[in-house]
Each structure stands twice: as C-alpha cells, then as structure tokens.
C-alpha cells in the first residue's frame, strides 16, 4: 500500500487535533482512502509541552524548514495562524512542490489570490475546508456539490464567539461585557477578542466564500464590517417583540454586475432557520437557482471539528496522489483563467429595512420632528413604538422602516443628531427578510 508522508507546521490546538486524528483514526483512514497516511514530522517552537497525543515514530522538531525542505513529505498542514510567518512558510512549501492544507482564513482573505497563483505555478493543491465554518463542509458544497447552480445568496453565522454572546444576552438579559467574560471563561473568546466581536473573523470567511460562490477574486477590503459591541438587552428585547432575533450575519448576494458583501448585526424573523442557531454553533443558508435553499449547521471551531475538516482535505489530496492526478479541482471553484474581479456594492447603495432606536428628549414635537426628517429623506416608517419613560427623563423611540437606501438613512441620522431632539447616537440595525416588500 502506498505511503503518503505528511508534515504539520504548528502544534497548537488545531495541529494537535490533526495529529490525534491521523494517529487514532489510522485504520479507518487507510480503509477509506486506500493508502497509508504517515505523519512524519511536526514543527513547533515548543517541543516540550505534552499535547496528550501519542506521536509514536513522528518527529517533533523546532525548525519548520526541516518539513518544508524534506523531499519525502508530500502534504504540509499549516496550523500556525497569522499572516506573516505562516504566509512565507506556505509560499516556500508551494515552491517546493508540496501540497498545502490550511485553516488560516485571515491569511487566505488577505493574500489568497497570491497563494492561488503560487499553487498554480507549481502545479500543486492548496486546500482550506477548515477555514470557513469549522466542520461544516461549506467549501466542498460550493466547489463541488452546487457546481451546476448559480448561487443567488448566502447568509451565515460564522463566528461562534459572537453567536454565544448574543445568545447569552438574549436568554439571560446579560450586558455585553458580562456575556463576553463568560465566553472567555468557557474558551469561546480570546483574551483579546476584537477580531471576533468586531466582525473581522466573519469578514475573512465571507471573502473566501464569495470567491467560491461567484468566481471572483478574493476581496476583503471592500466588505462592509460591523461588530456586536453596541448590541444591548434593550435592542434584543425590542427585536423579540417585533418577532425578530439579532444575529451577526455574513451576507453575500449576487446581482447582475456586482456582489453585495456585508457583515453586521442583523434582525431576522422567526421563519429564518438561522434564528434557531444558538450558543457557539455556526450555520449557513445557501440559496441557489436549481436547489433552492440549502442549510449547513455545525461547530465552527474547536480542536476536533476543525481537525476533521483538515483531514477531509488531506484525504482529497491523498486520493489525487494515488490516482496520479494533479489539481483535479480548481482551488477557488473556477479555473484560474475564469476568475474575475467582480466589484462589491458600496454600502451606501444598499436597500433594506431598518430598526432605529433613539433616546429622545421628553418634550412635545420630538416624534414629529424625527419622522419629518426621515420623510424628507424618502424613508417611509412602517411602525413606531414608544415604550415607557426612563428615570432620567429620556424616552426610547423605536421605528421600523420600509425598504430604504443606506445613503438616505445615514444622511437622515446626521440631520437628526444636529437637532436637540435626541441624546447620544441612535442605534441602527438592518433587517434581513426572505421576501422584502
């Protein structure tokens, strides 16, 4: 039986998970793939800490170049993370004709186009199933299962940290800081959580998925990104009273000549299956022309779910090797010559519905003044709610709009803030519905 030799760069949580699966699932993998997957070498700056994995004959070394320059290694797994040294290691590995598997969404979103070119030049594979949605086979679905479909839209919960925090606020009425602290205690959030809670981790994943769905270059810089720091129990309670749930969504939609790509807190109705995705779970709903809606649901992070996705890439590449094929599947789902620089819609051009909450002064004419400014900017109000009076004399005014243009809404809010009618910045949450009228 042919032996395929594997090296791992980085022996942290994910690297240890991959090593564990390669060792403990050895017989299962051999029976399914028809070849021996031999974990030859692991490189990490820490070779002393016990990761709880029986490595057997696998070497644990300090120098990554021992793997990159080893002519006997066929597949290299990058689990270091980050966009500096990991990028150089991957480029060096590709130049050395090694197939590469990575879960590094930040690197792919920022430099993926360059890595794809390097893989093409050297006629090797670059695989990244674990980069988006953990154990959910999103990459395989877009690149293979839905190959005969035009992907009309994608809506996804792709960050377990944010979803846990929003779930805790919703269920327990916790404030953001307490919910974040709980997420950190449970290991869902990093000590420095800004990459997650400010929406950037989700944007990295959306940039990758857009490319696979629409045959476009990976484009991170033009994606609109907002996080969840300003979501309060008050807004979640108002949303519930209107029949909505607040989720941090990655939204991608195709239009004739451009793509919508945005990440922000979003109100969705109870009829949306994503409204039931709670705690640290992830999910994506893909709307395609032939299949209609397809939903994937699962753990978006964690040692073993991520390692499972990495192993699926290893298996695919191993099968290519034993069949004598190279680059059987295009890395981004389309042959490189068919990848196009499709523009992303400017956020100002977005049309959607809006939830607006103002802290208004408690004196006559405030509501009519706010409504008047909105009306002057072509914003039609669907409903207005004015609930109770706060102890400081301010009154919360909540409005749900009909479909309006983002440019109009932002212009109107600037005008309202110049009046003496409101205190502080208004809360703006976009509403996403399956059938907006």
Residue recorded with tokens 């068919």: 338
CA distance 161 to 190: 9
Kindly indicate whether the domain formed by 3-134+303-338 is annotated with CATH number 3.40.50.720.
yes
Q: What residues does 288 pair with on adjacent strands?
A: 151, 292
Q: What share of the chain is helix, strand, coil (3-state, %, to 5)?
A: 40, 25, 35
Report H helices in 279-361.
303-323
pLDDT (0 to 100) of residue 391: 46
**Which residue did the predictor score with more confidence, 392 or 292?**
292
Q: What residues does 216 pair with on adjacent strands?
A: 340
Would the CATH topology of 138-299 be identical to that of 347-432? Answer: no
pLDDT (0 to 100) of residue 388: 59
User: Residue range 370-387: average pLDDT?
Assistant: 93
Element (H, E) at 249: strand 244-254
Q: What angle do CA 114, 116, 121 make, to 5 degrees?
A: 95
CATH topology of domain 347-432: Alpha-Beta Plaits (3.30.70)
User: Residue range 343-360: average pLDDT?
Assistant: 96
Strands 381-386, 395-401: parallel, antiparallel or unpaired by DSSP? Answer: antiparallel
Q: In the predicted model, is pLDDT for residue 425 greater than 70?
A: yes
Contact (Cβ atoms closer than 8 angstroms) between residue 157 and residue 248: yes
User: Residue range 244-254: average pLDDT?
Assistant: 97
Contact (Cβ atoms closer than 8 angstroms) between residue 138 and residue 282: no
CA distance 147 to 179: 40
User: Residue range 284-303: average pLDDT?
Assistant: 96
* Half-sphere exposure for 181 (CA within 13 Å, toward CB): 5
Domain ranges of the chain: 3-134+303-338, 138-299, 347-432
Residue pLDDT, tens place only, 49-69: 999 999 999 999 999 999 999
What is the dihedral sign for C-alpha 259, 379, 265, 247? Answer: negative
Residue pLDDT, tens place only, 299-321: 999 999 999 999 999 999 999 99
pLDDT (0 to 100) of residue 7: 98
pLDDT (0 to 100) of residue 437: 37
Contact (Cβ atoms closer than 8 angstroms) between residue 176 and residue 276: no
User: Residue range 249-263: average pLDDT?
Assistant: 96
User: Residue range 37-59: average pLDDT?
Assistant: 97
Q: In the predicted model, is pLDDT for residue 19 greater than 50?
A: yes
**Mean pLDDT taken over the chain:** 95
What is the pTM assigned to this prediction? 0.95
Report H helices in 96-175.
105-122, 138-140, 160-172
Strands 244-254, 151-157: parallel, antiparallel or unpaired by DSSP? Answer: antiparallel
Q: In the predicted model, is pLDDT for residue 420 greater than 80?
A: yes
Please, which contacts does 305-309 make with residues 24 or more away whose CB atoms are closer than 8 Å? Answer: 305/134, 305/135, 306/14, 306/17, 306/103, 306/130, 306/134, 306/135, 307/14, 307/17, 307/18, 307/20, 307/21, 307/130, 308/21, 308/135, 309/103, 309/129, 309/130, 309/134, 309/135, 309/137
Residue pLDDT, tens place only, 121-179: 999 999 999 999 999 999 999 999 999 999 999 999 999 999 999 999 999 999 999 99
Catalytic residue status for 205: yes
Element (H, E) at 429: strand 427-432
Q: What residues does 269 pair with on adjacent strands?
A: 244
Out of 140, 205, 247, 353, the active site residue is 205
Kindly indicate whether the domain formed by 138-299 is annotated with CATH number 3.30.2320.30.
no
User: Residue range 266-282: average pLDDT?
Assistant: 96
Residue recorded with tokens 């102890």: 391
pLDDT (0 to 100) of residue 436: 40
Estimate to the nearest angstrom the gap between the alpha carbon of 270 and the chain centroid.
22
User: Residue range 89-94: average pLDDT?
Assistant: 98
């Amino acid at each position: 039986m042919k032996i395929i030799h594997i090296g791992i760069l980085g022996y942290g949580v994910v690297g240890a998970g991959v090593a564990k699966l390669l060792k403990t699932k050895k017989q299962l993998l051999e029976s399914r793939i028809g070849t021996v997957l031999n974990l030859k070498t692991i490189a990490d700056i820490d070779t002393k800490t016990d990761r709880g994995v029986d490595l057997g004959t696998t070497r644990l070394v300090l120098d990554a170049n021992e793997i990159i320059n080893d002519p006997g290694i066929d597949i290299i797994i990058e689990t270091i993370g980050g966009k500096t040294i990991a990028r150089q290691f991957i480029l060096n590995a590709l130049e050395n004709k090694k197939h590469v598997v990575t879960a590094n969404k930040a690197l792919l979103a920022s430099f993926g186009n360059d890595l794809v070119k390097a893989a093409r030049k050297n006629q090797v594979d670059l695989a990244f199933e674990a980069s988006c949605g953990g154990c959910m086979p999103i990459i395989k679905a877009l690149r293979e299962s839905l190959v005969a479909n035009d992907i009309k839209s994608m809506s996804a919960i792709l960050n377990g940290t944010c979803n846990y925090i929003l779930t805790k606020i919703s269920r327990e009425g916790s404030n953001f800081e307490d919910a974040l602290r709980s997420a950190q205690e449970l290991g869902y959030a990093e000590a420095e959580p800004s990459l997650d809670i400010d929406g950037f981790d989700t944007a990295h994943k959306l940039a990758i998925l857009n490319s696979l769905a629409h045959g476009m270059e990976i484009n991170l810089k033009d994606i609109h990104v907002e996080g969840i720091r300003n979501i309060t129990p008050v807004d979640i309670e108002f949303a519930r009273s209107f029949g909505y749930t607040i989720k941090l969504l990655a939204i991608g939609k195709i239009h004739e000549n451009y793509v919508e790509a945005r990440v922000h807190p979003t109100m969705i109705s109870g009829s949306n299956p994503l409204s039931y995705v709670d705690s640290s779970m992830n999910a994506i709903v893909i709307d395609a022309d032939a299949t209609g809606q397809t939903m994937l649901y699962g753990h978006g992070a964690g040692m073993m779910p991520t390692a499972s996705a990495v192993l699926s890439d290893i298996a695919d590449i191993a099968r290519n090797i034993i069949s004598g094929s190279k680059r059987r599947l295009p890395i981004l789902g389309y042959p490189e010559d068919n990848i196009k620089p499709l523009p992303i819609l400017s956020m100002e051009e977005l049309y959607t519905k809006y939830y607006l909450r103002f802290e208004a002064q408690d004196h006559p004419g405030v509501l009519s003044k706010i409504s008047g400014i909105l009306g002057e900017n072509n914003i039609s109000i669907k409903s207005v709610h004015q609930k109770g009076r706060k102890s400081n004399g301010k009154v919360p005014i909540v409005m749900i709009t009909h479909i309006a243009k983002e440019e109009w809404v932002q212009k109107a809010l600037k005008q309202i803030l110049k009046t003496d009618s409101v205190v502080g910045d208004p809360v703006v949450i976009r509403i996403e519905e399956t059938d907006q009228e």
